[in-house]
């Protein structure tokens, strides 16, 4: 019973969330040519989370509606970030700053909903910090097909996404429909992040750490996506194991541990970029 | 053949090009002119990147109306600004085959042969497995050129391919372009470097303020120094030694 209803869903949720957040992060980084982009940082997770809570408020017993709402929220957040950052000049840093603002907006929405309607998120901390301890089999059943389809479509799209590394004009020159490719990559990233949010809440930094680790090797996007799936799922399970056992008998939400790991990692990337720019 | 009739093009609120009639058929054709004269815009207009009014046909097809892959099989393009993506020279050159691949995206024997041939032509075969970040500026230019060559399109549109290269590398570039011309490619290149244009071109179209003000072989243009001076805002004098590196002209500001 413990294995079936507690351990197994938790491990499966770790596998699926880790893989989908990592793949989502890699797609965003490639589509936006920005190694600081990730679903947590540019507000996609927060958008998905806010709409998930709205769906729980409207129809509490429907995990399918949660996924649709999460995807809608992730898409709206990504669209808002791209539109506003385009108006603000469209540089790599305006995308991140816009993402931070959009993320704050949706996080405020999440806090408002959980304050006025606490029944939408009985374990508010697990949802906003991110955790996989309370995942049910029905949530997994609803999210699994979308994550599988999202990763398969990402692999199919991989070579096109790789062409974005050439810059828009050169990619156009070799025969890529640049706008469609970029939009498809961002939509897939939103879908994967949304599915992950319905399982693990607002886990941050997985989608930043894993793609950046993998992008240190000179590889095409296809093998990088495969590595993201493998490393992302293993990483989240290991982090969850650590969060469960480090302060036994107390248990940390895995999102908290990831924030401790991810925030310094983000700062290291920032410093490395500055050093590279000076070379 | 690339045929333009009454073509005007530009950006919102900023018309750049106005070309009543221009036919570009074979050989190495240089669009020469000052910065901002409209050279790059003309290349982008032919490619379909900049919208235009009027008739623009490449082998009797409107490139802006073609599917992306069909267009890429007809026109290859090297932009003026090239990033340094994290990939090897061979990976970069292989991307030139994108428009030729089927849905499975696997490189066939023909694709591999085309990539190897492009690397050889660009003089990059020995550096094929090096990361672009480890190459010099001139080597990177040739790596990008290898990608464009691998595309195997009849028309190559190259925007300032010699910019930033020293004289020796410019000469190497000229040799590569002549080899491509001899293989039957039509090469259209934008350049503000007049000596280089005279050294490697079969034909030069001099652009000023978005319109062609002189058009002919280097030998023809050398007989119209007043047009060259008008187009480039330079005083020109013939070279004393016809066997010098730039045998036609020396320019003195």
Q: Which CATH architecture has domain B2-59+154-252?
A: 3-Layer(aba) Sandwich (3.40)
B163 burial via Cβ count (<10 Å: 0-12, 13-18, 19+): middle
Which pLDDT score, from 0 to 100, does residue A161 have?
A: 94
Quote the CA–CA distance of A276 and B231 in Å, as a whole number: 41
If one counts the domains in chain A, the total is: 1
Quote the CA–CA distance of A269 and A209 in Å, as a whole number: 10
Which pLDDT score, from 0 to 100, does residue A279 have?
A: 47
pLDDT digits 0-9 by tens, A118-132: 877 766 666 777 778
Q: Of B172, B155, B177, B160, whose CA–CA distance to B71 is shortest?
A: B155
Give the residue on A whose Cα is nearest the Cα of B72. A175
A220 touches chain B (CB under 8 A): yes
- B37 DSSP 8-state letter: S
**Among A31-45, B148-162, B175-189, which is the least confidently predicted range?**
A31-45
Give the residue on A whose Cα is nearest the Cα of B68. A175
3-class SS of residue B75:
strand
Which ipTM score applies to this complex?
Answer: 0.89
CA distances from A241 to A27, A132, A266 (A): 27, 11, 23
Q: How many CA atoms lie within 13 A of B191 on its CB side?
A: 27
Q: How far is CA A95 from the centre of its chain?
A: 16
Quote the CA–CA distance of A252 and A107 in Å, as a whole number: 21
The closest CB to that of B72, out of A173, A215, A218, belongs to A173
Q: Could you give phi then psi for residue A148, rounded to 5 degrees?
A: -60, -50
Q: Which residue has the higher pLDDT, B240 or A147?
A: A147
Residue with tokens 């490697």: B200
Q: Calculate how close chain B gets to A135, using CA atoms only, in Å.
A: 37
Domain containing A109 equals 2-278
- Please enumerate in sequence order all residues whose Cβ is within 8 A of that of B177, keeping only pairs 6 or more positions apart, or say none: B28, B158, B161, B187, B189, B200
Q: Calculate how close chain A gets to B89, using CA atoms only, in Å.
A: 11
> What CATH number is attached to the domain comprising A133?
1.10.3470.10
Contacts of A173 in chain B (CB under 8 A): 47, 72, 75-79, 148, 151, 157
A169 touches chain B (CB under 8 A): yes
Strands B235-238, B203-208: pairing is unpaired
Quote the CA–CA distance of A191 and A196 in Å, as a whole number: 9
Residues of chain A with pLDDT under 50: 279
Which pLDDT score, from 0 to 100, does residue A233 have?
A: 94
A173·B77 Cβ contact <8 A: yes
- Please enumerate in sequence order all residues whose Cβ is within 8 A of that of A259, keeping only pairs 6 or more positions apart, or say none: A129, A204, A205
Domain residue spans of chain B: 2-59+154-252, 84-152
What is the pLDDT confidence band of residue B45, given thresholds at 50, 70 and 90? very high
pLDDT digits 0-9 by tens, B188-200: 999 887 777 777 8
């Amino acid at each position: 019973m413990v294995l079936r209803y507690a351990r197994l869903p938790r491990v499966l949720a770790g596998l699926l969330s880790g893989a989908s957040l990592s793949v989502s992060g890699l797609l965003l980084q490639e589509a936006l040519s920005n190694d600081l982009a990730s679903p947590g940082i540019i507000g996609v997770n927060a958008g998905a989370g806010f709409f998930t809570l709205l769906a729980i408020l409207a129809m509490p017993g429907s995990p399918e509606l949660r996924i649709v709402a999460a995807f809608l929220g992730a898409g709206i957040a990504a669209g808002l970030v791209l539109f506003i950052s385009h108006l603000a000049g469209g540089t790599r840093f305006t995308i991140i700053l816009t993402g931070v603002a959009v993320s704050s907006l949706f996080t405020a929405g999440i806090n408002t909903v959980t304050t006025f309607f606490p029944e939408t998120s009985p374990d508010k901390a697990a949802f906003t910090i991110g955790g996989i301890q309370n995942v049910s089999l029905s949530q997994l059943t609803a999210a699994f097909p979308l994550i599988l389809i999202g990763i398969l479509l990402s692999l199919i799209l991989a070579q096109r996404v790789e062409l974005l590394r050439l810059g828009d004009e050169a990619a156009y020159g070799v025969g890529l429909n640049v706008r469609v490719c970029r939009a498809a990559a961002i939509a897939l990233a939103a879908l994967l992040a949304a599915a992950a949010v319905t399982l693990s809440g607002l886990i941050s930094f997985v989608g930043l750490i894993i793609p950046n680790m993998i992008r240190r090797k000179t590889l095409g996007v296809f093998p990088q996506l495969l590595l993201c799936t493998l490393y992302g799922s293993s990483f989240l399970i290991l982090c969850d194991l650590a969060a469960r056992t480090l302060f036994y008998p107390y248990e940390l939400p895995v999102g908290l541990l990831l924030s401790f790991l991810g925030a310094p990692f983000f700062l290291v990337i920032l410093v490395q970029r500055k050093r590279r720019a000076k070379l | 053949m690339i045929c333009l009739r009454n073509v005007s093009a530009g950006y919102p609120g900023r018309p750049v090009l106005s070309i009543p009639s221009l036919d570009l058929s074979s050989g190495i054709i240089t669009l020469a002119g000052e910065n901002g004269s409209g050279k790059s815009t003309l290349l982008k207009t032919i490619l379909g990147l900049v919208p235009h009014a009027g008739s623009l046909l490449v082998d009797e097809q409107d490139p802006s109306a073609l599917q992306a892959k069909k267009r890429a099989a007809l026109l290859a393009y090297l932009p003026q600004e090239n990033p340094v993506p994290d990939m090897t020279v061979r990976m970069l050159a292989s991307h030139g085959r994108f428009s030729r691949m089927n849905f499975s995206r696997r490189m066939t024997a023909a694709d591999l042969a085309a990539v190897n041939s492009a690397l050889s032509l660009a003089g990059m075969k020995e550096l094929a497995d090096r990361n672009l970040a480890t190459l010099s500026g001139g080597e990177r230019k040739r790596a990008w050129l290898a990608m464009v060559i691998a595309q195997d399109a009849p028309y190559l549109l190259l925007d300032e391919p010699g910019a930033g290269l020293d004289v020796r590398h410019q000469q190497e570039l000229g040799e590569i372009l002549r080899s491509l011309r001899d293989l039957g490619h039509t090469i259209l290149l934008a350049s503000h470097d007049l000596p280089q244009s005279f050294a490697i071109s079969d034909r030069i179209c001099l652009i000023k303020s978005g319109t062609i003000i002189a058009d002919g072989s280097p030998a023809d243009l050398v007989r119209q120094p007043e047009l060259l001076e008008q187009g480039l805002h330079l005083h020109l004098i013939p070279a004393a030694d016809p066997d010098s590196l730039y045998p036609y002209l020396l320019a003195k500001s």
